[in-house]
Chain A
Amino acid sequence: MNSTTKRISLISAALSAMLLASGCSTLPETSSKTIPPLRTYEDVVKKDSPRLLEVSDSMEGFNRGAYRFNYNFDKYFFIPVVRTYEFILPDYVEDRVSNAVDNIGEFANLTNNLFQLKFKDAGITLSRFAINTTIGIAGLWDPATSFGLERQTEDFGQTLGHYGTGNGSYIVLPIAGPSNVRDTAGMVVDGAIFTFAGPSAWVDDQGISNAYTATYVVDKRHRIPFRYRQTGSPFEYELVRMLYTMKRDFDIAN
């Protein structure tokens, strides 16, 4: 089994395990002594008032469990690994790694620009890959951007959104973090194409694929500035959910 499929099956195994463990209700535990608060949702939140925080979340019990899992995973494993990575490598080298990872990521940008019939963007992506792989030496540098060829990021979740697929319910994926039904499906499809018809299949070397996956994951966390509890808010789960949803809406519209 190749590393990407391994990653996918790992995630789905973790998902189903946690789904089983999360039959829990998302309502507070009440008794006959429970008295409603002075300010109730029904009274305070008017009909046409802002509802950005209300995102479809039918698996909220599971999602909150996954959120806690991710919090601990981040605290005890992910961030220490990223810190070690940042400690060992100079910033300059880290940026080269990010560029190289992005260069390989052009594959998904290409396929999804094509799926969305954005031929101009697909052309730009192809040129970027050609330039950065050669002049940019295996993608370590990104001269294409300075030639005015900007990165055209698309993924299969965006492709689905482009053709009108709704978000579906919000999902917090173990390790990977915020997502929704549409984007999770998109991630699986992108992973499968990458594995069976893309770079992984071309290289066809388990060791290299594993090394790429590990680098990809560490580089990705290194580049995401989010840290748990930095919001200082008891509603961090809601805030992350809202921002993720807004960001994806925007990505799809553009």
Chain B
Amino acid sequence: MKRLFASIILIMACLWWAKSVSADSRPYFYPFVNPYVATVMELPKAFEVKLPEEVPTKEYTIDVFPDLKIPDVFWYEDGLPFSLAYQDHKAPLVFVVAGTGSRYNTPRMVKLQKALHQAGFHVISITSPTHMDFVVNASKGLPGDSLRDARDLYRVMKLAYEKVKPKIEVSSFALTGYSLGAFNAAFIAKLDDEQKRFNFKRVLLINPPVNLYDSVIALDKLMVENIPGGPEKFDQWFRGLVAKLAAVSKEMGHTELSGDFIYNAYKRLPPSEENLAAIIGTAFRMSSANMIFTADVMNGGGYIVPKNARLNNSTSLTKYAMVSYRTRFEDYFNEYLLPYYEKKDPYMNRQALLDRSKLQSIEPYLKSASKIGLVHNEDDIILMPGEIDYLQGVFGNRARIFPTGGHMGNMFHPDVVRSMIDFLTGKEI
């Protein structure tokens, strides 16, 4: 669930350069024991699965609601893009749903696409329903409700498949996603069992939250609790962080953010656990702010932007940005999302909305559906105490739990990739 805006992610998400060592036939070993480090740092190259440089891909754009008039303030939006990695022969097709605030083509999505393509799948990569592109082009209503988001995604998947159908030959369907995307995938799987459009053979959940609301609050707290002096001192902390990195960059005579630079910066300046936690929390807060603002504009305003006012392509968004970044997901849930659903449905209340934001709400289904599997980490920072045992109980031998790796830090570890592929291709895990 991390989505770091451009430079910060580059600064911290470290690219390591090391000699290639085969990690085959050894017990699972993961270099970062600290889950915060594991979550932020990219896996050193030496420990990472080997992926092809390029796989054949094509990008498409779909107009989910042809009558949609996109507000001028989102002048750069024009349909929902997705990408297809294709095989030149008949093959199974797997849909991948991105994590919180992520686009179909973030580095993680591209890597996952390669890994799955290498395993013989056609791969369709889909933007998270929490990313602004999705909120503008493909959301019916406010994002953040598991059932609604699953329906929106399902609609997009059907349209995406129609779009690529002439190009590829498909033998069967599978579905996967990581983080929030995994959570979405669980609900989509259930929806598909009712509507029977794809009849997924396998559905794999990679590092999903169990209780979405709790996980989101935990992530938000990382920022609130780890910035020295609290969020009101954000400026000082952030300036300090940027200055330190700039100093290292000057000292090393680098002016750009190359992989080498980031690796060396990390070696010279190992960030404290508090800093890492604060960075993860900040990244989360920012991506949730992006979603909240966009959703508000798309639904006529009244929460962050005025109601019945038109924002155009020259409107200053600075004040709205400052308000959005000070809005926790919790605030959005209580002040905007809940009233919105209560208005639509007289039987809706806070507890009901909270209950359906948990995997528990579909527990009987998850228990009985033998096609659904899980890959997770014991030290994942988005899980609450006891949740890993809960997942183990629900999925039984369809769960593969690694001892370390943080929140998706180990996603491209060869053992993890093998577990993913084995399950998706129908082998036992």
Interface residues in chain A, defined as those with a beta carbon under 8 Å from any beta carbon in chain B:
22, 24-31, 33-41, 44-46, 48-54, 57, 60-61, 64-65, 68, 71, 145, 150-151, 153, 223-226, 228-235, 237-239, 243, 246-247, 250-251, 254
Q: Are A226 and B6 in contact (CB under 8 A)?
A: yes
What is the distance, in angstroms, from B135's C-beta to the closest C-beta of chain A?
A: 10
Contact of A28 among B102, B309, B327 (CB under 8 A): B309
Contact flag A60-B316 (CB < 8 Å), given A35-B307, A234-B294: yes
How far apart are the CA atoms of A231 and B106 in the complex, in Å? 10
Contacts of A237 in B (CB 8 A): 317
Q: Are B133 and A232 in contact (CB under 8 A)?
A: yes
What is the distance, in angstroms, from A130's C-beta to the closest C-beta of chain B?
A: 18
How far apart are the CA atoms of A144 and B286 in the complex, in Å? 42
Residues B232-284 near A (CB distance < 8 A): 232-235, 238-239, 242-243, 246-247, 250, 253, 255-257
**Binary contact track B30-74/A, C-beta < 8 Å → 1, others 0:** 000000000000000000000000000000000000000000011
What is the distance, in angstroms, from A177's C-beta to the closest C-beta of chain B?
A: 14
Contact flag A235-B304 (CB < 8 Å), given A52-B238, A54-B322, A64-B313: no
Q: Are A44 and B323 in contact (CB under 8 A)?
A: yes
Contacts of A27 in B (CB 8 A): 315-316
Contact flag A61-B314 (CB < 8 Å), given A35-B302, A230-B6, A250-B243: yes
Contacts of A45 in B (CB 8 A): 319, 322-323, 326
Contact flag A235-B306 (CB < 8 Å), given A26-B314, A54-B318: no
Does chain A have a CB within 8 A of B5? yes
Q: Are A235 and B290 in contact (CB under 8 A)?
A: yes
Instruction: Output the nearest chain A residue to B294 by Cβ-Cβ distance.
Output: A234
Residues B338-391 near A (CB distance < 8 A): none
Does chain A have a CB within 8 A of B337? no
What is the distance, in angstroms, from A53's C-beta to the closest C-beta of chain B?
A: 6
How far apart are the CA atoms of A232 and B109 in the complex, in Å? 14
How far apart are the CA atoms of A48 and B5 in the complex, in Å? 25
Q: Are B235 and A238 in contact (CB under 8 A)?
A: no
Q: Are A235 and B324 in contact (CB under 8 A)?
A: yes
Instruction: Output the nearest chain A residue to B292 by Cβ-Cβ distance.
Output: A39
Contacts of A65 in B (CB 8 A): 314
What is the distance, in angstroms, from A14's C-beta to the closest C-beta of chain B?
A: 18
Q: Are A238 and B307 in contact (CB under 8 A)?
A: no
